Amino acid sequence: MSEPVIAERSPSVIRLEPGTYYWCRCGLSKDQPFCDGSHEGTDFTPLEFTLETARNIALCRCKHTANEPMCDGTHRQLP
């Protein structure tokens, strides 16, 4: 598996509190946009990111963003 699965063609816009999070890169997680370990046995690993302050954030669910883990609108250009 070298290409991620497109989990959704829209971002997950949520409010996150300060802390460390693990963003799913493979697209297989049932807990999108976060990792649930479904990547085991693939070439993918989750992306760890930390927020210092609480804020609203748009996390990519198409898994093709150039600005991991943030949505950059790439989902609008996917076939």
Instruction: Report residue 1's pLDDT band, with 50, 70 and 90 as the boundaries.
Output: low
Asked whether the predicted pLDDT for residue 62 surpasses 70, the reply is yes
Asked whether the predicted pLDDT for residue 25 surpasses 70, the reply is yes
Asked whether the predicted pLDDT for residue 74 surpasses 70, the reply is yes
3-state secondary structure the chain: CCCCCCCCCCCEEEEECCEEEEECCCCCCCCCCECCCCCCCCCCCCEEEEECCCEEEEECCCCCCCCCCECCCHHHHCC
Q: What whole-number percentage of the chain has pLDDT above 70?
A: 99
At 67 the pLDDT is 97
Domain boundaries, the chain: 12-72
Q: What is the pTM of this model?
A: 0.94
